[in-house]
Chains A and B, each alone.
Chain A
Amino acid sequence: MRYKFPSEEWVRVFKDELNKNEIYAEAAERWEGDFLFIITPDEELEKEMVFYVDLWHGKCRDAYIVPDRDAKKTGFIYEGPYSNWKKLINGEIDPIKGILMRKFKLKGSMSTIMRYTKAASELVKTASKVPTEFI
């Protein structure tokens, strides 16, 4: 079964996949901090979509769609246009290279992220593990 991206169902499955990801769990063992994943509109998506991910010591405690980017204040924001999210989920863009190539923006404490590069990379790569149908 494939899940429409982005959708509440997709986010739920993403949370499950993340909690099965042992590489992530190990790399993020001491991580405390939440994320907003923001999918900005482009030719293929009309309205901005945002989902919230609560991360704690290697586990995802909760994940859900929020009405807009101001709905939750988080430690980190990973943001990019829908077409780039598609490429990321299809494995065509590496999450960290994507930031370096300005296809995604990352906001939050750089000193923290730089110590958890592997965890951040696995967090975003988990998106590729969700069987996805693009809207």
Chain B
Amino acid sequence: MWEFTSPRTIMFGRGALEYLKEIEGERAFIVTDKVIRGLGFVDKAVDYLKEASIKVKVFDEVEPEPSIETVKKGTEIAIDYQPDWIIGIGGGSSIDAAKAIWILYERPDIKVEEISPLAKLGLRKKARLICIPTTSGSGSDASWAIVVTDTKERRKMELGSKEVVPDVSILDSELTLTMSHELIADTGFDALSHGVEAYVSQWRNDFSDALAIRAIQLVFMYLPRAYRNPDDEVVREKMQNAATMAGLAFSNSHLGLVHAVAHAMGGLFKIPHGRATAIVLPCVMEYNLREAMERYSEISKAIGIKASTQKEAVEELVEAIRRLAVEIGEPTSVGAVGISWVEYEKNLGKLVERAMESTTIVADPRSPSTGDFRRLFVCVFRGKRVNF
């Protein structure tokens, strides 16, 4: 027995933002960042909400990889304002911050670090949640995951609850057109890693499989094109859909070692999450090769790779992912992003410790020891193939 949880409504396609004109309520609290606000999307959303006779307050102080402090600040303002809609507009950071703020607004009795899928929160007594992604993407607009950074400990906290899967997800491709090439590449790879990890997770099921495999296909078809032609709206819409589908997939299956490693690196070295997944994904696939060979070979077949054995199919898939990374300007090692070996080695123990504490490792096809993690982190630094 398992369950499938999804937003009640997903509005998708160019102009989907207009859906805001139709919602009912009194006060909306928009959580976003200054860049997104500066691009005019928030003003557009505000105008639509006003047409629906809804008052609006905007909190635009979310930073990339949002901190506990930012969440607490947003919560204070929300408690004062008493909205009946919380609206996250932006990348994964703004959306995760919106989710966390919503929880603490409805449950000021709990601490950020206590937000867990293992405990009942009892949300939706004061407000409901709309998520509007502007990247393609974290899939946070469709998932139960929340990542908030403890800046004092330099740790990414993997929080979440099924209850924070948004009521509405609005995928308006027009909002993604301003992404830089770098952001297209980083967030696109995040989506790919979500699809791959969801497909091989021990918690996978028919529903998550369908979404994962289609998301992976869309990424391979459209990410290179999105990177080369950012103005191609059709392509951008496909990537946005892929990101949300991949988010639904992992949210109803689970993530794995890619995210355990990427989160550890992101917390300690501030490597943008998607970029970290681009480096780590092929290495983890090589690590999981024996345990997940059949599943990886199914992915390989789904994206059109022809091979005579499962092993060959998986090896070709890993190479295809490495080639994709290079094609869209992603680094293939941690060393290539400007982190010194001296600094990295000094933090190796902490990296391993953080990875071992990740909630994502319980459902990975292979159960890593601390020794395995150590070797994995070294391979990831050097961009070396994994053969243990």
Partner-B contacts on A (CB < 8 A): 23, 26-27, 94, 96-97, 99-101, 106, 109-111, 113-118, 121
Report the bound CA distance from A41 to B369 in whole Å.
Answer: 37
Report the bound CA distance from A114 to B116 in whole Å.
Answer: 7
Smallest CB gap from A96: residue in B:
B362
Smallest CB gap from A105: residue in B:
B118
Q: Contacts A23-B367, A114-B159, A117-B362; is A100 near B357 (CB within 8 Å)?
A: no
Report the bound CA distance from A106 to B118 in whole Å.
Answer: 7
Q: Report if B113 contacts A (CB, 8 A).
A: yes
Hey, which chain B residues are within 8 Å of A114, CB to CB? 113, 116, 118, 157-159, 359
**Secondary structure of the B contact surface, majority rule:** loop
- Residues of B329-361 at the interface with A, using a CB-CB cut-off of 8 Å, are 356-359, 361
Contacting pair B116 A110 (CB below 8 A)? yes
Smallest CB gap from A100: residue in B:
B117
Q: Report if B14 contacts A (CB, 8 A).
A: no
Report the bound CA distance from A17 to B117 in whole Å.
Answer: 29
Q: Contacts A26-B369, A118-B361; is A110 near B2 (CB within 8 Å)?
A: no
Q: Report if B203 contacts A (CB, 8 A).
A: yes
- With A114-B118, A117-B362 known, 13 other A-B pairs at CB within 8 A are A23-B367, A26-B356, A27-B356, A94-B202, A96-B362, A100-B117, A101-B1, A110-B113, A111-B111, A113-B118, A114-B158, A117-B361, A118-B362
Smallest CB gap from B353: residue in A:
A30
Size category of the binding interface on chain B? 20 to 34
Report the bound CA distance from A117 to B158 in whole Å.
Answer: 11
Q: Report if B80 contacts A (CB, 8 A).
A: no
Hey, which chain B residues are within 8 Å of A121, CB to CB? 362
Partner-A contacts on B (CB < 8 A): 1-3, 111, 113-119, 157-159, 162, 202-203, 356-359, 361-362, 367, 369-370
Q: Contacts A106-B118, A110-B119, A118-B356; is A97 near B2 (CB within 8 Å)?
A: yes
Hey, which chain B residues are within 8 Å of A115, CB to CB? 357
Report the bound CA distance from A97 to B202 in whole Å.
Answer: 11
Hey, which chain A residues are within 8 Å of B1, CB to CB? 101
Contacting pair B2 A101 (CB below 8 A)? yes
Which are the 10 A-B pairs with shortest beta-carbon distances? A111-B113, A110-B116, A115-B357, A117-B359, A110-B114, A121-B362, A99-B118, A117-B362, A111-B114, A106-B118
Hey, which chain B residues are within 8 Å of A97, CB to CB? 2, 203
Hey, which chain B residues are within 8 Å of A113, CB to CB? 116, 118
Report the bound CA distance from A117 to B256 in whole Å.
Answer: 13
Hey, which chain A residues are within 8 Å of B369, CB to CB? 23, 26
B264 to chain A, nearest CB (A): 12
B256 to chain A, nearest CB (A): 12
* Contact sample, A vs B, 14 pairs, CB 8 Å cutoff: A96-B362, A97-B2, A97-B203, A100-B117, A101-B3, A110-B114, A110-B115, A110-B119, A114-B159, A117-B357, A117-B362, A118-B356, A118-B357, A118-B367
Smallest CB gap from A103: residue in B:
B1
Smallest CB gap from A23: residue in B:
B367
A105 to chain B, nearest CB (A): 9
A35 to chain B, nearest CB (A): 14
Smallest CB gap from B357: residue in A:
A115
B120 to chain A, nearest CB (A): 9
Hey, which chain A residues are within 8 Å of B362, CB to CB? 96, 117-118, 121
With beta carbons under 8 angstroms apart, the residue of B114, B162, B357 that contacts A116 is B357
Smallest CB gap from B111: residue in A:
A111
Hey, which chain A residues are within 8 Å of B158, CB to CB? 114
Smallest CB gap from A106: residue in B:
B118
Report the bound CA distance from A111 to B158 in whole Å.
Answer: 10
Hey, which chain B residues are within 8 Å of A111, CB to CB? 111, 113-114, 116
B206 to chain A, nearest CB (A): 16
With beta carbons under 8 angstroms apart, the residue of A26, A99, A100 that contacts B370 is A26
Smallest CB gap from B202: residue in A:
A94
